[in-house]
Amino acid sequence: DIVMTQSPDSLAVSLGERATINCKSSQSVLYNSNNKNYLAWYQQKPGQSPMLLIHWASTRESGVPDRFSGSGSGTDFTLTISSLQAEDVAVYYCQQYYSTPWTFGQGTRVEIK
């Protein structure tokens, strides 16, 4: 199984400041035949179901604000919130879909400082 490890477990960022979440996979999730990274990011706000933010490691879902961006390749990935807003308080998860069992990171809680 591919193990996904996020860091940090939680972070507190001031409004308008940058938040950076890291995600590392235990093996590469880059599929060489199409040069795509099989990695997604989700946001789960308190009391809500998760929401897909980014797929293929860096492609934003329709309607997701452009302050959210994804980067990385192979085994190391980053989700960046360029200017934190109050509505971004949530737990963020990375997920690999390179192979089953599809696995998630443990989550990173983002709060306002």
Partner 1 sequence: EVQLVESGGGLVQPGGSLRLSCAASGFSFSTSWMSWVRQAPGKGLEWVAYIRQTGSEKDYVDSVKGRFTISRDNAKNSLYLQMNSLRDEDTAVYYCARWAAPGFDYWGQGTLVTVSS
Residue 61 binding partner 1, by CB under 8 A: yes
Shortest approach of partner 1 to residue 15 CB, angstroms? 26
Residue 38 binding partner 1, by CB under 8 A: yes
Residue 103 binding partner 1, by CB under 8 A: yes
Query: What is the chain written as a DSSP string?
Result: ---EEEE-SEEEE-TTS-EEEEEEESS--EETTTTEE-EEEEEE-TTS--EEEEETTTEEPTT--TTEEEEEETTEEEEEESS--GGG-EEEEEEE-SSSSPEE---EEEEE-
Residue 51 binding partner 1, by CB under 8 A: yes
Residues near partner 1 (CB under 8 A):
38, 40, 42, 44, 49-52, 55-56, 61, 93, 95, 97, 100-107
